Amino acid sequence: MQKWMMRLLLISLLCAGLFSCKSYQPENAVRKENSRSEFQNLYFADPQTDYVYKAHIEVYGHKAGGIFVAKRISDSVHRVVFTTDFGNKLLDFELSETDFKVHYILEEMDRKMVVNTLRDDFRLLLKVNRKIEATFENKDAEIFKAVQGKRSVYFYFDKKDNRLVKFIAASKRKEKVIFEFGSKNSIFAETVKIDHKNIKLKIELNQIVN
């Protein structure tokens, strides 16, 4: 009986280990052959457009609102400014995949974890050109896997009209951040939602229409 119990315990531990080491893969999706080698996220790609949104941020129960503006100033660089509703600047970043400049940040926000998290979020959101590492699909979307830093990023394009509806940044085993988009076409997102899974941070952007 003791040997049988020991054998059962070893099998259980082995199965648990194999399950916990399973690599992340998009839910209810199957891998398919790559149909192309790259794609673009066009939502913030036009250098002639100022992307202006009403912003709402919730961090560990604290809420703040204001105006978010993003602009592409070169092939690889974006400028991001976040102000209060009255125009007082909260942050002003200039960033690309490799460079990052803080032109201004409110003293209360000037914490390493906050700055680095916002930097990484904006890099994910604003990067235009992507190399496809793998392709998946489910019943609703074609899913392109790209790599940014140490994370894999899975981009979901609606099969009906080829709109980018969301993307998920994941570690080797689990989701870290989910970006969701509301859009009428493939070149402009009217709404953006950013939801972190490992920290209590949510950002919502809603287009301001003049």
pLDDT band, residue 4 (cuts 50/70/90): very low
For residues 98 and 100, what is the distance between their CA atoms, to the nearest angstrom? Answer: 7
Mean pLDDT (the chain) is: 88
Residue of higher predicted confidence among 3 and 36: 36
Q: Count of domains in the chain?
A: 1
Task: Give the model's pLDDT for residue 25.
Answer: 84
Q: Tell me which residue of 109, 85, 107, 105 sits closest to 95, measured CA to CA.
A: 105
In-domain check, residue 135: yes
> Is the CB of residue 154 less than 8 Å from the CB of residue 170?
yes
Taking 60 as the threshold, does the pLDDT of residue 3 lie above it?
no
Indicate the pTM of the whole model.
Answer: 0.86
Q: Is residue 15 part of a domain?
A: no
**Residue among 124, 122, 123, 67 at smallest CA distance from 90:** 67
Residue 68 near residue 205, CB atoms below 8 Å: yes
Residue 7 lies in a domain: no
Residue 81 domain-assigned (yes or no)? yes
Indicate which CATH number applies to the domain containing 135.
Answer: 2.50.20
The reply to whether 34 falls in a domain is yes
What pLDDT digit, counting tens, does each position of 70-122 carry?
999 999 999 999 999 998 999 999 999 999 999 999 888 888 988 999 999 99
Q: Which domain holds residue 105?
A: 25-207
C-alpha span between 173 and 18 (Å, rounded): 12
As a dihedral over the C-alpha atoms of residue 108, residue 113, residue 117, residue 120, rounded to 10 degrees, the angle is 120
pLDDT tens-digit readout, 43-61: 999 999 999 999 998 887 7
Tokens standing for residue 193: 């939602």
Would 151 be classed as within a structural domain? yes
